[in-house]
């Protein structure tokens, strides 16, 4: 299924939506098409419409929180579904770098993807205490970075807007 990049009135990225939803927003004149796919078109019985790729909402939408929600699935995505200690993609779990029993919080910078073997080896210690080395430090992704890193492919006409 094709996705359409949705921009706010100030050209900031809001989300992705389906081609059908994007067409409806433009047809109802709630959005403008900024970029369309020249190789495709939408057809009615007697009309042809552009196939949207990037749209901009005409009326500014105030979005109070535009961060990436901290979930198990999003941590796996950030870490590219690999154990951050050994690199495997099998039997993945979530690990607290500083264990909860030692005051570690469930935050973007304290949680990493780990396989069951490494997580068991680490146990109730920090990685340094048991000789485990992180492949990369955990970070809190921005919304734009998260969109870029987790799309199967970024279309070239999206790049100026990301």
Of all residues in the chain, the percent with pLDDT exceeding 90 is: 73
pTM: predicted TM-score of the whole model, two decimal places: 0.60
Higher pLDDT, 86 or 142: 86
pLDDT value of position 104: 94
CB of 36 closer than 8 Å to CB of 49: no
Question: What kind of architecture, by CATH, is found in domain 72-130?
Answer: Orthogonal Bundle (1.10)
**Encoded tokens for 152:** 């199967």
Residue 154 has a pLDDT of 66
Output the CA–CA distances (angstroms, integers) from residue 59 to 9, 11, 17, 25, 109, in the order listed. 6, 11, 17, 12, 36
Residue spans per domain, the chain:
3-63+150-161, 72-130
Average pLDDT over residues 2-7: 90
pLDDT in the model for residue 161:
77
Please say if the pLDDT value at position 99 is more than 80. yes
């Amino acid at each position: 299924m094709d996705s359409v990049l949705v921009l706010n009135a100030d050209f900031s990225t809001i989300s992705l939506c389906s081609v059908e939803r994007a067409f409806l927003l433009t047809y109802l004149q709630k959005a403008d098409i900024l970029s369309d796919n020249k190789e495709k078109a939408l057809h009615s019985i007697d009309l042809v419409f552009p196939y949207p790729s990037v749209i901009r909402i005409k009326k500014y939408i105030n979005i109070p929180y535009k961060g990436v929600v901290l979930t198990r699935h999003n941590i796996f995505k950030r870490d590219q579904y690999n154990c951050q200690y050994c690199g495997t993609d099998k039997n993945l779990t979530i690990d607290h770098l500083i264990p909860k029993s030692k005051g570690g919080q469930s935050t973007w910078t304290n949680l990493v993807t780990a396989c069951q073997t490494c997580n068991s080896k680490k146990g109730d210690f920090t990685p340094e205490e048991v000789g485990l080395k992180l492949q990369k430090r955990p970070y809190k992704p921005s919304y734009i970075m998260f969109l870029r890193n987790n799309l199967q492919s970024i279309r070239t006409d999206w790049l100026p807007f990301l």
